[in-house]
Amino acid sequence: MPLIFDSTGLQIQGLTEIREETREELQAKPAFGTDVKTGPDSRVGQIIDVNAEREAIIQERLDEVNEQFNPQAAEGTQLENITSITGTTRELATFSTVRLNIVGGIGATYPAGNRFRITGQTTNWALDRELILDGAGLGNELASADVAGPEEALAGTIDEIVDAVGGHVSVTNVLAAEEGKAQQSDSALRVEREKQLNFGGSARDDAIAARLAALADVDAAAVISNRGLTPNAKGQPGKSFRAIVTPSTADKARVAVSVFETMPSGIRPEGLEVVNITNSQGQTTPVRFDFAAQLEIHARIQFIKNLSFPSTGIADITQAVRDFDNDLSIGDDVLPDKLGTFIFGRVPGLDHLIIEIKIGATPVIDVDNLPIDIDVDEIAFFDANISVSEFVPPP
């Protein structure tokens, strides 16, 4: 079989095929004839073998190049080149981070980039910012691994300074490192590419929500469909869908256009917000959607601390609670245990937390310590009503 490249694709030859084809071509030449010796021990045969091996390698490389245009076969940089055509880029690895607690001379300065490590390991953890120890010779600061990807550092294992600082006594990490993400694999990148290709024209609930969430001023989006013939429990008519976005400051026109471009034909969008959209035929369609109901969560946090608790600890806990709602999306329940884990990961020197939360009112001690259920069209957030104090045992 000869080398073929046609509508069916590329078909290359094997080494044996190339050798036999070359022998047949030489024997067909008048200058050689059928009597020419082409065996492996003959001079002509050895020349044929050398060139056949070279051509086999060329054809194999040609096949590899051809496969690089197939996203299911392409790898590495070639796969990235293909996915870039649809605007899909590989997620790069992120760096692991850890909070270091350092003991040293009073007022000692540890410059940004000063490195620490676990004894016997090669990964270094470099301070993100300059650290100046306080009047007790104590301080803590975040540090990042010097290599991207998931790097493990269990609590209490970072114990060695790499870049010496005068008066240094010790270093440790009270909490385990927050591991970074590995670079997106080829298989995951292929899946992401398929999602991007289906993104624009799909009318599935998740595709409509993804399109809305991609808008610059939309933080989160959800879509609720009622595929039945009668209204559901929330009064949504049958054979309709309801797009929900947050925050309420999002541009209504852009939201409506996004819903209009992805909604299924003949299915009515529902909601309190209405924007009229004119299609290419001059027809006006009222596009409806909703903004998620915003539920402010009041929080009461009591803590038991240890010697590593920073002087800014109360403010740090308050900010951590506010930052926690960045992880909350539409319909996400508020879980005290999850909030506690988040605070422990952000603030060092904590031994125990008592967390009480309530919607729109001050939590009742020893009562409001259970998860808060959030409905599918609501979103929870924390703002000013956060009380943080050290736990005082009853007399």
Q: 140 near 171, Cβ under 8 Å?
A: no
Given a cut of 90, whether residue 357 has pLDDT beyond it is: yes
Position 90, amino acid: R
What pLDDT does residue 74 have?
77
Q: 352 near 267, Cβ under 8 Å?
A: no
Please give the backbone phi and psi of residue 307, each rounded to the nearest 5 degrees, phi first.
-65, -20
> Per-residue confidence at 394, pLDDT binned at 50, 70, 90?
confident
Residue matched to tokens 């959209």 = 277
pLDDT in tens, 89-139: 888 899 999 999 999 999 999 999 999 999 999 999 999 999 999 999 999
Q: How far is it, in rounded angstroms, from Cα 352 to Cα 27?
A: 89
> Per-residue confidence at 301, pLDDT binned at 50, 70, 90?
very high
pLDDT in tens, 222-256: 998 887 888 888 888 888 899 999 999 999 999 99
Q: How far is it, in rounded angstroms, from Cα 340 to Cα 326?
A: 15
Determine the topology of domain 200-291 in CATH. GMP Synthetase; Chain A, domain 3 (3.30.300)
Annotate 156-173 with b (16+ C-beta within 10 A) or e (fewer).
ebbeebeeebeebeebbb
Summary mean pLDDT of the chain? 87
Q: Is the peptide bond preceding residue 247 cis, with omega within 30 degrees of 0?
A: yes
Q: How far is it, in rounded angstroms, from Cα 103 to Cα 80?
A: 46
Residue matched to tokens 């608790």 = 309
What pLDDT does residue 103 have?
97
Strand ranges (DSSP E) for the chain?
4-6, 9-11, 95-103, 109-110, 115-117, 124-127, 131-132, 138-148, 160-161, 170-172, 220-226, 240-246, 268-270, 273-278, 284-291, 293-305, 350-359, 378-381, 386-390
Rg over alpha carbons for the chain, rounded to the nearest Å, is 32
What pLDDT does residue 318 have?
93
pLDDT in tens, 267-278: 789 999 999 988
Give, in order, the Cα–Cα distances in Å from 89 to each of 68, 82, 95, 197, 210.
Answer: 16, 10, 19, 13, 17
* Residue 146: partners with Cβ closer than 8 Å, 6 or more residues away: 115, 123, 124, 125, 126
Given a cut of 60, whether residue 288 has pLDDT beyond it is: yes
> Per-residue confidence at 68, pLDDT binned at 50, 70, 90?
low
Q: How far is it, in rounded angstroms, from Cα 200 to Cα 262?
A: 7
Annotate 258-295 with b (16+ C-beta within 10 A) or e (fewer).
bbeebbeeeebbbbebebeeeeeeeeeeebbbbbbeee
Query: Which of 349, 274, 84, 327 has its CA nearest to residue 192?
Result: 84
Given a cut of 70, whether residue 200 has pLDDT beyond it is: no
**Segment 384-389 mean pLDDT:** 93
Stretch among 24-33, 62-71, 234-243, 302-311 having the lowest mean pLDDT = 62-71
Q: How far is it, in rounded angstroms, from Cα 237 to Cα 205?
A: 16
Q: How far is it, in rounded angstroms, from Cα 223 to Cα 219?
A: 14
**Segment 271-294 mean pLDDT:** 89
- Domain locations in the chain as residue ranges: 4-67, 95-172, 200-291, 295-390
Higher local confidence (pLDDT), 312 or 263: 312
